[in-house]
Amino acid sequence: MRGARAHWWSWLAGLALWCAGAGVAAPATVAPLVLDAETSSIPLSPRIAYRHDAGAADGATEAFRRAEAGEFQPLPDGTPTFGFQDGAYWFYLPLVNRDAAEPRWLLVQEYALSDQVDLYLRYPDGRIEHASSGDHAPFNSRFIRYRYPNFRLDLPPGQRVEVLFRVQSESSMQVPLVLYTPKAFAELMRDAQFSTGLYYGIVLALLFYNFVLWVMLRDGGYFWYLLHTGAFGLVLFTLNGYGFEYFWPNWPWMADAAVPLSICLALIGMQQFSRSFLELRERWPAGNRVSLALIGFFVLLGIASFWLPYSTSTPLASRMVLLGVLWIIVATIVMLRRGYRPARLFLLAWSLFLAGTAAFTLLAFGIVPRNFWTLNGVQIGSALEMLLLSLALGSRYAGLRNENIRIVQETNEKLERSVVDRTRQLRTAMAQLGEANVQLREYSRRDPLTGVYNRRHFREALEQALAARQGSGGPLALLLLDLDHFKRINDTHGHLAGDDCLNHAARRIEEVAAPRGGVVARFGGEEFVVILPGLDAQEALQVAEAIRLRIHQLPVESGGKQIRLSASIGLHTVDGERGDAPEEIIRIADEALYRAKDDGRNCVRHSVSAA
């Protein structure tokens, strides 16, 4: 009653001034909003008045005084969106509750990112109640655990209660205030849970589906799609207040940093996914470098968002969303003009995403009004974009598979056409290979330095000669030869001279032994071995002496010098019924060789067993 009397006195005073022609316009008053039984929820934007306190200097008392003085103005076009602004915004509206059954109401600011929100209720008896919220206050300070700041309003039936609402934030200044009855708010939460669950259900389904494909196919494009989808889901989780509600309810600083950080992470994911999908590295290197430069910028901005003021990092990140998507569309158009067919569906997906993000960004800067499409443009655009991108990935993979099949078919046809030529070439190659194998076999039997047979072939030849002797019973002689003082030759004249000496000795041995059917081999180092099948002890002794003389009498020409050689020879003859093993024959010949060395070298000694 006291408040009603004060209202009448104010009205009469204004009428008296008007009648007196004071020449000053009466202060504009805000008509109270009447709540009746038919009202369950009502947006306050068409009825509320506001004032921009640029210096954020006014308190509640001063704001109430200014409201009474008519300094508050209606919202421009009824839109509670002002973009990024400094200072504080005050909103004022008297309420009269005519519904005796609903004394309690809920005031919800349907924007999640405001930093500091204060509610003042002034009752007819002058009492003022204050409550605060926003993402700079702990989440549990809210009346109801809900992603949007909300306040309980006690509105006694028939009384005029003045609502004064203050918002100060480095985020976009959006203050959509809606008044709900408890029942209407419960229905709102049910519908919001359904729509939110539907959107994030789509996101999770796409993530799981493409994760399985990535695990199965190991295609990098699916991994980058997962990064983009998950990161952008985190962006919306943050922008819609769920991050503050579920992830960091007691970390107000994280509520600020999470917005630009999640946006940068999503921008990195979308740029990297686009690079991979469009194959920019191979198909357009210049465009690939631009995408890498953008990724580098987003990485730096994401790191800097931990220190930059929110009012700097968030508007910059929001603008970069548009720039990043525009660049992807430009790159996609370029790839389409270059004949890359998978880019068609890709272009449609990013165009829808651009439309949704543009609407949301323009709303954040206060350029477009709040409505269903601007509020939900990001969710709608991103959901369609994620679906289309998933289809585009599948289409691209199918295209690659079909191209591989086509290439395989063409290759098979070419292979069939050229099989005759290939077969002919193969036969020719096989013949040449056979000749080469014969040569290689011969090379494998020869000593690479002297050209005589090597030790391995000597063992085979000795075993074959012994096997042939068992059938015929003829004699077999074995010479084991060692060049005398060969180490002295190497030390005095060098190893190249030593090689010349070995080659010289091998030629002299072959000159004597080959005409008599002898098999000459290098046994190791400066040692040679000669198999003389069919020669008895006397004949073998003559051959051995001839070899010794040939080596000793003919000097070696090496490096302009003449080097005299001599050789010690051990001889062993197998005849009659004896059938010694190869190792035993070599051992006996080796003993004879050592006797030749002990007897002064440059001589031939016959084995004792043979003697």
**One domain, residues 529 and 475:** yes
pLDDT band (50, 70, 90) for residue 390:
low
pLDDT value for 354: 59
**One domain, residues 211 and 66:** no
Strand partners, 573: 477
Domain span at residue 531 reads: 443-606
Measured between alpha carbons, how far is 87 from 168 in angstroms, rounded to an integer? 6
pLDDT value for 373: 53
Q: Length of the chain, please?
A: 611
Total number of domains constituting the chain: 3
Measured between alpha carbons, how far is 490 from 558 in angstroms, rounded to an integer? 12
**Tally of CB atoms within 10 A around 117:** 25
pLDDT band (50, 70, 90) for residue 21:
very low
Measured between alpha carbons, how far is 226 from 232 in angstroms, rounded to an integer? 10
pLDDT value for 233: 78
3-state secondary structure of 523: strand
Window from 31-45, 211-225, 288-302 with minimum mean pLDDT: 211-225
Is 436 part of a structural domain of the chain?
no
pLDDT value for 242: 80
Mean pLDDT, range 349-376, rounded to an integer? 60
**One domain, residues 296 and 353:** yes
pLDDT band (50, 70, 90) for residue 198:
confident
**One domain, residues 169 and 202:** no
Is 524 part of a structural domain of the chain?
yes
Mean pLDDT, range 112-119, rounded to an integer? 91
pLDDT tens digits, one per residue of 551-573: 999 999 888 888 899 999 999 99
Residue 133 CB partners (closer than 8 Å, separation 6+):
109, 117, 119, 141, 142, 149, 150, 151
pLDDT band (50, 70, 90) for residue 24:
very low
**Tally of CB atoms within 10 A around 348:** 17
From 364, 392, 408, the end of a domain falls on: 408
> Does the structure show a pLDDT above 50 at 137?
yes
From 156, 180, 204, the end of a domain falls on: 180
Average pLDDT over the chain, rounded to an integer: 81
From 121, 153, 180, the end of a domain falls on: 180
* Secondary structure letter of residue 341 according to DSSP: T
Handedness of CA 183, 188, 189, 190 (dihedral sign): positive
The answer to whether 160 and 4 have CB atoms below 8 angstroms apart is: yes
Measured between alpha carbons, how far is 395 from 418 in angstroms, rounded to an integer? 34
Is 13 part of a structural domain of the chain?
no
**One domain, residues 233 and 264:** yes
**One domain, residues 279 and 157:** no
Q: Which amino acid is at 189?
A: M
Window from 14-18, 27-31, 280-284, 596-600 with minimum mean pLDDT: 14-18
> Does the structure show a pLDDT above 90 at 33?
yes
Residue 487 CB partners (closer than 8 Å, separation 6+):
none
**One domain, residues 576 and 502:** yes
pLDDT value for 389: 59
**One domain, residues 154 and 230:** no
Is 145 part of a structural domain of the chain?
yes
Is 36 part of a structural domain of the chain?
yes
The answer to whether 548 and 567 have CB atoms below 8 angstroms apart is: yes
What percent of the chain has a predicted confidence (pLDDT) above 70? 80
**One domain, residues 261 and 119:** no
Is 415 part of a structural domain of the chain?
no
**One domain, residues 369 and 465:** no
Measured between alpha carbons, how far is 465 from 533 in angstroms, rounded to an integer? 7
Angle at 157 between CA 156 and CA 161, to 5 degrees: 55
**Tally of CB atoms within 10 A around 451:** 13
**One domain, residues 200 and 320:** yes
Catalytic residue among 38, 526, 583, 584: 526
How far does Cα 270 stand from its chain's mean position? 13
pLDDT value for 364: 55
pLDDT band (50, 70, 90) for residue 549:
very high
Nearest to 517 by CA among 483, 543, 487: 543
**Tally of CB atoms within 10 A around 598:** 10
Measured between alpha carbons, how far is 388 from 582 in angstroms, rounded to an integer? 83
**CATH number for the domain harbouring residue 523:** 3.30.70.270
Is 169 part of a structural domain of the chain?
yes
pLDDT value for 401: 60
pLDDT value for 545: 92
526 belongs to the catalytic site = yes
pLDDT tens digits, one per residue of 400-456: 566 566 666 767 767 777 677 777 777 777 777 777 677 777 778 888 888 889 998
Structure tokens at 223: 């991994």
Window from 19-33, 122-136, 379-393, 583-597 with minimum mean pLDDT: 19-33
**One domain, residues 249 and 395:** yes
pLDDT band (50, 70, 90) for residue 240:
confident
Is 420 part of a structural domain of the chain?
no
Mean pLDDT, range 197-225, rounded to an integer? 73
Q: What stretch of H or E contains 236?
A: helix 220-239
pLDDT tens digits, one per residue of 482-534: 999 989 988 888 889 999 999 999 999 999 999 998 899 998 889 999 999 98
The answer to whether 90 and 141 have CB atoms below 8 angstroms apart is: no
**CATH number for the domain harbouring residue 111:** 2.60.40.2380
Window from 50-64, 468-482, 526-540 with minimum mean pLDDT: 468-482
